[in-house]
């Protein structure tokens, strides 16, 4: 069977099976997730044995250490994955929520409620935990899942999907709601991305290049999760005692992720006082500095170089940071509009009008006021589970939990009204 026919078959099977999710109650979906969590615990050793096969292939292929670390499952990590499924099972049911309700003059009752998408495809890299994390979020939100992971994690993914399907077989939900898309062939990704009408939504999760490939190639609607060139702006009215920890946390705590900051903007009125201290602290933390002329002049003995035009729009993912002096809130916003990626922007200020203006002029998924960019995160925001961070404006923006995996329908109830 060619890839297109295979994906078509998997999607059709998943869609029919998804009806068992459509008519299941939230309690039934929760119970199914708990069955999955228990099965993961009970079959932990099987999972670890399969993962070791992936690991030895990976070591033989000399995959890089960080990729191997993401691929690795340990008893503690497997227990953590099961615990994650239990946490999702404990969340509020996202389906059937009434978002809007009214009675029209003609007596018709109007209700907008949340419903599942139907069939959602996940395209991701060699992280076996995503296989479970994504599947349980999709099941809890009533969606069937087509999981296309990496061939590097093929054995891990196969056992994890088998464990989940075996667990579902003991519930009212069809095991066919979870479909593992073979990863031995790149054609299956392409076919998944072109299964318009068969697959309702594709979510890529992984590197910038994977996400770009999915968004460019897909004719199925996608949610772009993505790059973050995030800024921290220290206003002239900032409390400087909180400004420095916020900058360091935003840049240094985990530089590889999308909500880490890449550029520090400082108001000219406090630059002379604050920048030498801030740049010294960043240097001390191992951060390489790329400065505009004004901030470079304040670097003194701190190692720093003049930023190139490219630096301002680069998502380093490493301990490097751009620094610039700006004249005003508006100038900071201008810089951000020119170089930012509409992910997360932070202002440190005690002036409420300046905070409000920065918010109004920022076009991004999250604006931080007097706190770190690192808080743009589903777990930190209390969502309980996160399937990714949307970097687009349609449907969902910022961290996406269960609710983002639902769409809506209008229920229009009458007693024979017709339109005149």
Looking only at the bridges linking them, the beta strands covering 288-291 and 320-326 are: parallel
Whose Cβ is closer to its own copies: residue 48's or residue 389's?
Answer: 389
* One-letter-per-residue 3-state SS of 43-82: CHHHHHHHHHHHHHHHHHCCCCHHHHHHHCCCHHHHHHHH
Among 140, 229, 368, 387, binds its own copies (CB under 8 A): 368
**Per rule CB under 8 A, is residue 121 in the interface with its own copies?**
no
**Per rule CB under 8 A, is residue 9 in the interface with its own copies?**
no
**Per rule CB under 8 A, is residue 122 in the interface with its own copies?**
no
CB of 333 to its own copies, least distance (A): 8
Chain positions 391 to 410 lying near its own copies, rule: CB under 8 A, are 392-395, 397-399, 407-410
Three-class secondary structure of residue 117 per DSSP: coil
Among 108, 149, 307, 326, binds its own copies (CB under 8 A): 108
**Per rule CB under 8 A, is residue 285 in the interface with its own copies?**
no
d(CA 39, CA 34): 8
Question: Any residues with CB less than 8 A from the CB of 68 and at least 6 apart, and which?
Answer: 55, 58, 59
Whose Cβ is closer to its own copies: residue 78's or residue 91's?
Answer: 91
Among 245, 284, 297, 353, binds its own copies (CB under 8 A): 245
Residues binding its own copies: number (CB under 8 A) = 67
Among 72, 314, 361, 384, binds its own copies (CB under 8 A): 361
Is the CB of residue 264 less than 8 Å from the CB of residue 278?
Answer: yes
Task: Transcribe 219-272 into DSSP letters.
Answer: SS-B--B----EEEEE-TT--HHHHHHHHHHHHHS-TTSTTSEEEEEEEHHHHH
The 299-338 site mask, x for binding its own copies (CB under 8 A), equals: --------------------------------------x-
Q: Select from 42-50, 101-109, 295-303, 306-314 the region that touches its own copies (CB under 8 A).
A: 101-109
CB of 113 to its own copies, least distance (A): 9
**Per rule CB under 8 A, is residue 208 in the interface with its own copies?**
no
Task: Transcribe 273-329 into DSSP letters.
Answer: HHHHHHHHHHHHTT-EEEE-HHHHTT-TTS--EEPPTTGGG----SSEEEEEEESSH
Task: Transcribe 10-37 into DSSP letters.
Answer: HHHHHHHHHHHHHTS-HHHHHHHHHHHH
Per-residue tokens: 328 = 């005003």
Other C-beta atoms lying within 10 Å of the C-beta of residue 66: 9
Whose Cβ is closer to its own copies: residue 167's or residue 258's?
Answer: 258
Per-residue tokens: 177 = 């709601």
Whose Cβ is closer to its own copies: residue 45's or residue 408's?
Answer: 408
Per-residue tokens: 152 = 């590097």
Q: How far is CA 318 from the centre of its chain?
A: 19
The 29-68 site mask, x for binding its own copies (CB under 8 A), equals: ----------------------------------------
Is the CB of residue 380 less than 8 Å from the CB of residue 203?
Answer: no
| Phi, psi at 306, each rounded to 5° | -75, 130
Among 78, 366, 387, 400, binds its own copies (CB under 8 A): 366
Among 253, 313, 328, 351, binds its own copies (CB under 8 A): 253
Among 110, 270, 288, 319, binds its own copies (CB under 8 A): 110
CA nearest to 278, candidates 333, 230, 240: 240
CB of 109 to its own copies, least distance (A): 9
Among 152, 156, 174, 372, binds its own copies (CB under 8 A): 372
Looking only at the bridges linking them, the beta strands covering 178-180 and 288-291 are: unpaired
Interacting residue ranges for its own copies, rule: CB under 8 A: 15, 19, 22-23, 102, 104, 108, 110, 115, 117-118, 200-201, 216, 219, 221, 223, 239, 241-242, 245-246, 248-249, 253, 337, 357, 359-372, 374-376, 380-382, 392-395, 397-399, 407-419
């Amino acid at each position: 069977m060619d890839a297109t026919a295979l994906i078509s078959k998997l999607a059709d099977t998943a869609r029919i099976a998804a009806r068992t999710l459509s008519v299941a109650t939230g309690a039934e979906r929760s119970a199914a997730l708990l069955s999955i969590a228990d099965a993961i615990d009970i079959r932990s050793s099987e999972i670890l044995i399969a993962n070791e096969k992936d690991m030895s292939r990976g070591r033989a292929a000399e995959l890089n250490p960080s990729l191997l670390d993401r691929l690795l499952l340990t008893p503690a990590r497997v227990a953590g994955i099961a615990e994650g499924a239990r946490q999702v099972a404990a969340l509020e049911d996202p389906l059937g929520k009434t978002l809007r309700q009214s009675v029209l003059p003609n007596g018709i009752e109007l209700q907008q409620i949340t419903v599942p998408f139907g069939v959602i495809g996940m395209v991701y890299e060699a992280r076996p935990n995503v296989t479970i994390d994504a599947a349980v979020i999709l099941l809890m939100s009533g969606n069937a899942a087509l999981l296309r992971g990496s061939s590097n994690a093929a054995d891990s993914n196969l056992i994890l999907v088998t464990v989940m399907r075996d667990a579902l077989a003991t519930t009212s939900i069809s095991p066919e709601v979870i479909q593992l898309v073979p990863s031995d062939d790149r054609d299956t990704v392409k076919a998944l991305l072109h299964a318009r009408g068969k697959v309702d939504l594709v979510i890529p999760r992984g590197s910038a290049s994977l996400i770009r490939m999915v968004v460019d190639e897909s004719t199925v609607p996608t949610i772009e999760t993505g790059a973050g060139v995030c800024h921290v702006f220290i206003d002239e009215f900032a409390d400087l005692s909180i400004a420095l920890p916020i900058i360091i946390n935003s840049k240094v705590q985990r530089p590889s992720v999308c909500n880490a900051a890449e550029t520090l903007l400082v108001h000219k009125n406090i630059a002379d006082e604050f920048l030498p201290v801030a740049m010294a602290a960043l240097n001390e933390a191992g951060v390489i500095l790329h400065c505009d002329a004004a901030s470079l002049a304040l670097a003194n003995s701190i190692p720093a170089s003049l930023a190139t035009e490219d630096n301002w729009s680069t998502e380093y993912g490493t301990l490097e940071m751009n620094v610039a002096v700006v004249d005003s809130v508006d100038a900071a916003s201008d810089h951000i509009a020119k170089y930012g990626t509409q992910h997360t922007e932070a202002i440190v200020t005690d002036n409420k009008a300046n905070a409000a203006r920065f918010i109004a002029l920022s076009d991004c998924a999250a604006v931080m006021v007097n706190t770190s960019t690192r808080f743009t995160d589903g777990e930190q925001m209390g969502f309980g589970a996160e399937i990714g961070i949307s970097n687009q404006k349609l449907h969902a923006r910022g961290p996406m939990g269960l609710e983002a995996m639902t769409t809506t329908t209008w229920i229009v109830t009458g007693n024979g009204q017709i339109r005149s």
